[in-house]
Structure 1
C-alpha cells in the first residue's frame, strides 16, 4: 500500500510538471524581470516567537524594505505575496509566483531553536539532503499547512513526515535547482560581506513554499530570534535595512548574470581546471549525454560565433531561461572530454547532463 501511494504521489507531480511546461512554453516573457518576494507566515500563523520577537513581523518588515529597494530598478517588477499581517496558504504563495510568470521567488523567514546559542543566516533550496536537522527544519516549515482549510485537497495528500512526499518534492522542481543554488550562494556571500553576518551556509531540503514554484526559488533564514543578540539586530530598523540591502544586491547580481551570461561561461564562474579523462568508451545505448555550457534569459542562435568557437551546439528553453549545450554522444567518457574542451574555451562551470527518451535524467541514477 505504501509503495502504491508513493507512485501515485510521484505520478501526480510529474503530470503537474508536464502541464506547467506546456503552459509556460506558450507564454511570451515580459521584458521586465519579475521578482516575487514572500514574507513568511502571517495572520494566525505567527511563525517563531522568542524573546519578544515575532518571525512574521520581522519577515514582513524586511520584505517591504527589500521591495521598496527593488522597485527603484526600472526593469524589475516586484510582486508581494503579502504586504500586511495576513495569513496566506503556502500553495497560494507559489500560485501567485506562477501566475505572474516570475523569474525569481524569494521567501523570507527567521530561524528559532530551543538552544539560545545558535546564530547566523541560512539560505535553502529544494533538495534531498535528509540529515536529521534538515528534516526537522523542513517538517517545521511545512506543518503550517495544518492551519489551512482543505489542506488535504490543496496538497494532494502531502504529509510533512512522509518519505514519499520527500521524493515528490525533489522531482517537482529539480529543473530549477541549479539557478536556485547560484542565487542562494550570492545571498549568503552578501550576508557575510555586505551585512557582516555569520553564514551557516546554503542548505537543501523539500520545502512546500518552494515546492510548486515554477522558477528559481529560495527560502532565506535571516537569523535566529531565539538568540537574544541576533533577535535584537533583526528587530531593529538598521538590521532590517542591512539584510534587505544584501538581498537586493544578490538578486540584482543574479539578474545581471542571467541577462549577460552567454558567450563567457555558465552562471557562476570558477577557475578552469582540466582533469584527466579515461581514453576508453563508456557507452550507454539508451542515453544521450551533452555538456551544459550556459543558462541565460537571452535567446541566441546555437552558432559557434556566439560560443567562443564551440560547434555542435543545441539549446533548450526551460521556463524563462535558455540552456545551451555542447556535444551529443552516448559515450560518457567522450562527454567528459567535451566538458574539458568547453572548460578550455572559458566555460569553467560546464557540466555533463544526461537525457533518456528526450527527457533529462539525474546523472546519479546511471548504472
Structure 2
C-alpha cells in the first residue's frame, strides 16, 4: 500500500454500499479476490430515467449475477460493496477493496445523456479528459456531495471543479496497464459476443479510481436514458448477457496473468521474425523494456521459464510480479525485441518505459523526447 491516497481506484462513479459485509473484507492470499461494486444505492438512485427504472437497481442486478457466476470458481473469492439497496460512500468502497487486498476492482454503472446516445464504455483512471469524459467524471464524482462533511473526508475535493480533477494524478500508474487490459477484454466481449455498440476504453479522473491500489475498471453498461437500450438494460435477458460478458472478461483476465509463465507457458509460434537493419532511436535517460507477463508466481528469471528469452528481469508490484524482456535506451531495438517476444508466444507483450528506476507513461516519453 502506498499512502492513504492510493486507496481505491475505479469503482468510482456513484455510490454503493456495504451490506452484510462481515469477514468478507479480510485479506485472502490463497484466492483471486474480485471486488464487485454496484453503482449508487440507497438515497442515491443514479442516472435519471423516465422509463420507471433506476440505475442503482440495474447495476445491482448485474453485479449479483456476475458474482453468483464467479463464486462457482473455487479459485475466486468475491466481495461486494453492496448486496442490497443501501448507500455507501466512495471512501467506504475504497476501504472495502483495499482491506480485502483485492486483485481486481470492478464497478458497474449505467450511462445517461440528454440525447438518445447509446453504447458501452469502460473507464480506467486517467487525467487526459475530453469534454465528454470530464462530464462523466463530474457526474460520477458528484455522489461525494451527498455525504456529510465531504470537505473533511475528501480533502476539499470539488467534483464540479476541473482543477480538482486535474489534481487526481495517476497514482494508479503501477496498475494502469492491467486495468486497460481488462477494460479492453470487456469492451471486446460487448462488441463481438453481444454485437453491441462499443464506445471503447476511456480514461477519466474518477475519485475512487485514484484511490485503489489494484487494477480497476468502471463499466458503463449502456445508456439508461436511451429508450431501446434502457429497456434492454432493465430486462432479464439484457442483464444476463451483460453479466456473462463481464464474467468472461474477468476469467480471461485472470488466465492471462499466468498464461505465459512457468509450466503454463503457451506453445511458441514458429519464429518468423527477421530483425532488420534499423535506424537508431536513442532516448537519453530512458530505459525501455518489453513486459511479457504478470503473475502471482515468483519465477526464476531464467530462459527456460520464458521460452528461451533472455535477459529477463522481474519487479514486484503489489501482489503481482511483472516480468520484462530486454532493456535498452534505443526504441528501435526494443521494438525488435517486442516482435521477438510475440513470436515466442507472448502475444500480449508491450513496451514500457522507465526513468530513474520509476515507470513512466510511454506516450509521454515519446512525445516529449521526439523532434
Using the size of structure 1 for normalisation, the TM-score is: 0.84
Distance across 2 between alignment mates of 1:246 and 1:310: 34
Deviations 1:254-311 (A, max 9, x none): 1111132326989xx9x99878674436251x43332222222222111111111111
> What is the correspondence of 1:1-367 to structure 2 with a 5 Å cutoff?
16=4, 30-50=29-49, 51-115=51-115, 117-262=116-261, 278-280=278-280, 282-284=282-284, 286-363=285-362, 364-365=364-365, 366-367=368-369
Task: Call closer, same or farther: CA 1:249–1:228 in 2, change over 3 Å.
Answer: same
Looking at structure 2, the residues matched to 309 and 333 of structure 1 have their Cα atoms a distance apart, in angstroms, of 22
Give aligned pairs, total: 344
CA distance in 1, matches of 2:170, 2:189: 29
Q: Aligned to 1:209, what secondary structure does the other structure show?
A: coil
Alpha-carbon distance, 1:240 to partner: 1.3
**How far apart, in 2, do the equivalents of 1:359 and 1:195 lie?**
40
| Structure 2 residues not aligned, in runs of 5+ | 9-25
CA distance in 2, matches of 1:192, 1:19: 31
Give CA-to-partner distance per residue, 1:290-338, whole Å, 9 cap, x none. Answer: 2222222222111111111111211001112211112233444443443
Match of 1:10 in 2: none
Structure 2 vs 1, CA of residues 64 and 277 (structure 1 numbering), >3 Å: closer, same or farther? farther
Residues 242 and 338 of structure 1, relative CA distance in 2, 3 Å threshold: closer
Superposed CA deviations along residues 209-253 of structure 1, whole A, max 9, x for unmatched, are 322111111111111111122221211222212211111111111
Deviation, structure 1 residue 161: 4.0
Question: Which secondary structure does the structure 1 equivalent of 2:211 belong to?
Answer: coil
CA–CA distance in structure 2, aligned partners of residues 30 and 239 of structure 1: 34
Deviations 1:60-95 (A, max 9, x none): 111112111111111111100011111111121121
SS at match of 1:57: helix
* Change beyond 3 A, Cα 1:275–1:176: farther
Decide whether the 8 Å contact of 1:272 with 1:346 is kept in 2: no
> Per-residue CA shift, 1:146-171, capped at 9, x if unaligned?
11122222222222244443344342
**Counting helix residues as a fraction of each chain, which structure ranks higher?**
1
Verify the 8 A CA contact 2:27 2:99 in the aligned structure 1.
Answer: no
Counterpart CA distance in 2 for 1:49 and 1:60 is 16
Judge conservation of contact 1:265–1:294 (CA < 8 Å) in 2: no
Determine the C-alpha separation between the residues in 1 that align with 2:227 and 2:162. 35
**CA distances 1:176-204 after superposition (whole Å, capped 9, x unpaired):** 11111111121122223333432222221
The aligned residue for residue 13 of structure 2 is none
Partner of 1:6: none
- Structure 1, gaps ≥5 residues long: 1-12, 21-26
Change (3 A) 1:336 1:239: closer
Q: Relative to 1, partners in 2 of residues 1:192 and 1:277: Cα closer, same or farther, differing over 3 Å?
A: same
Q: Separation in 1 of the partners of 2:2 and 2:252?
A: 32
TM-score (structure 2 length as normaliser): 0.83
Distance 1:64 1:320 in 2: 26
Tell me, yes or no, if the aligned pair for 1:272 and 1:348 is still in contact at 8 Å. no
Go from structure 1 to structure 2 and tell me whether the alpha carbon gap of 1:309 and 1:17 turns closer, same or farther (over 3 Å shift).
farther
